[in-house]
Structure 1
């Protein structure tokens, strides 16, 4: 099973996710949200940052079912979906993840024919894998 690899800039993202919160890094000077987390604001070059709590809501911007699985650690779990989710409050922020049938459900628990571009999703945290996941707002 894959587990998240953290670095000092991204560690708060994973810590908040484990608490059930979806937060994104933002510049403390100009307010511009950014993802992935990094030490310097690409807009104003400030090194001051803060972590903004989001609603955890978004929409499917893109998705795919990889065939064959691209990562060996995922082979046993295929087929599974990979989605790009655009956050409701910050549409320029897009996160990669998986849509599952319900919180804690395994990859592949949601039939790919249920996923649509634009489908509304909400953030959930999978304690087994340590990864953020998504569930459909209207199953």
Structure 2
């Protein structure tokens, strides 16, 4: 089997992947107007400032939308079928949605509005944030 491809960090997203490697989720924040944004960009999407910094977030999110993939379009994903690609809304960063995978869940049990938490998968040298249903009562 082929390994799943790892994202390739660039100068704007490097902070995101560096934080993930430390088990933290972070988004980009403007030092001028306070706006948060994702995906990372060269300038603030609100005020066009180039004064951007990483802002840690909790990793708690809500399932916004999802689709279930039942066919592997790359051999590395065959053992993961079916898998879920989703948009999640970060609880403590209003307006920020991240496209990600939902793991550790039966796709049939997922629905919009479900609470989620971040988990991490190592792919080569890159740590990839993904989400799973919130664990309750230590389970």
TM-score by length of 2: 0.86
Structure-1 separation of matches of 2:31 and 2:85: 32
- Structure-1 residue corresponding to 2:78: 75
Q: CA offsets, 1:95-117, max 9 Å, x none?
A: 1111222xxxxxxxx21112110
Q: Which runs of 5+ in 1 are unaligned?
A: 102-109
- Structure-2 residue corresponding to 1:43: 46
SS at match of 1:13: helix
- Structure-1 residue corresponding to 2:109: 114
- Structure-2 residue corresponding to 1:27: 30
Structure-2 separation of matches of 1:114 and 1:138: 14
Q: Which runs of 5+ in 2 are unaligned?
A: none
Aligned residues: 131
Deviation at 1:58, TM superposition (A): 0.6
Q: CA offsets, 1:17-36, max 9 Å, x none?
A: 11110110011110100111
Q: Within 5 Å, give how 1:96-115 maps onto structure 2.
A: 96-101=99-104, 110-115=105-110
SS at match of 1:17: helix
TM-score by length of 1: 0.86
Structure number with higher strand proportion: 2
- Structure-1 residue corresponding to 2:18: 15
Structure-2 separation of matches of 1:124 and 1:53: 15
